[in-house]
Amino acid sequence: MESHKVKKKNRVPIRALIQVASVAAGVQFGWALQLSLLTPYVQELGIPHAWASFIWLCGPISGMIVQPIVGHYSDSCTSSYGRRRPFILSGAALVVVAVLIIGYSADLGYLLGDELMGATRPRAVLIFVFGFWVLDMANNTLQGPCRALLADFTGKDQKRNRRANAFFSLFMALGNILGFATGAYDGWYKVFKFTHTKACDIACANLKSAFLLGVTILLITTFLSVTAASEIPFDPKNAVKRTASKSVTQPLLTGKPADEISSSAAGGESSDDDDDEDEHESEALFWELMGALRDLPRPMWCILFVTALTWIAWFPFLLFDTDWMGREVYGGEPSDPIRSNFYYDGVHMGSLGLLLNSVVLGLSSLCIDFVCRKLGSSYVWGIANVIMAACFIGTGVVTRAAAQAAALNPGAGPPDYVIYSALVIFSILGAPLAVTYSVPYSLTATYTEKVGGGQGLSVGLLNLAIVAPQMVVSVGSGPWDELFGGGNMPAFLFGAGAAFIGGIAAVLLLPRPPPDFTTRNSLRRTHSSPIP
> Could you report the per-residue pLDDT of 409-419, keeping only the tens digit for each?
887 789 999 99
Looking at the structure of the chain, the number of domains it has is: 1
Residue 388 lies in a domain: yes
389 or 530: which leads in pLDDT: 389
Residue 236 lies in a domain: no
The arithmetic mean of pLDDT across residues 181-202, rounded, is: 82
Q: What is the largest CA-CA distance in the chain?
A: 79
Least confident range from 17-21, 338-342, 349-353, 513-517: namely 513-517
pLDDT value at residue 3: 44
> Domain of 430?
21-225+293-527
Q: Are the C-beta atoms of residues 99 and 85 closer than 8 Å to each other?
A: no
Confidence of residue 9 (pLDDT cuts 50, 70, 90): very low
pLDDT value at residue 524: 44
What are the pLDDT digits (tens) for 12-39?
788 888 888 888 888 888 877 877 677 6
Residue 60 lies in a domain: yes
Check residue 312 and give left, alpha or beta (phi > 0: left; psi -120 to 50: alpha). alpha
Buried/exposed 124-133: b ≥16 CB within 10 Å, e otherwise? bbebbbebbb
pLDDT value at residue 275: 35
Residue 263 lies in a domain: no
pLDDT surpasses 50 at 256: no
202 or 427: which leads in pLDDT: 427
The arithmetic mean of pLDDT across residues 375-398, rounded, is: 93
Residue 251 lies in a domain: no
Residue 244 lies in a domain: no
Confidence of residue 519 (pLDDT cuts 50, 70, 90): very low
pLDDT value at residue 361: 85
pTM of the complete model: 0.65
Q: Are the C-beta atoms of residues 323 and 481 closer than 8 Å to each other?
A: no
pLDDT surpasses 50 at 5: no
Residue 275 lies in a domain: no
The arithmetic mean of pLDDT across residues 242-260, rounded, is: 39
The arithmetic mean of pLDDT across residues 219-242, rounded, is: 72
Task: Tell me phi and psi for residue 6, to 5 degrees.
Answer: -65, -40
Spell out the SS3 assignment of 371-433.
HHHHHCHHHHHHHHHHHHHHHHHHHHHHHHHHHHHHHHCCCCCCCHHHHHHHHHHHHHCHHHH
pLDDT surpasses 50 at 276: no
What does the DSSP assignment read for 27-90?
HHHHHHHIIIIIHHHHHHTT--HHHHHHHTTHHHHHHHHHHHHHHHHHHS---TT-SSHHHHHH
Least confident range from 52-61, 255-264, 353-362, 481-490: namely 255-264
Buried/exposed 413-432: b ≥16 CB within 10 Å, e otherwise? bbbeebbebbbebbbbbbbb
Residue 412: CATH number of its domain: 1.20.1250.20
pLDDT surpasses 90 at 498: yes
Task: Tell me phi and psi for residue 101, to 5 degrees.
Answer: -65, -45
Residue 98 lies in a domain: yes
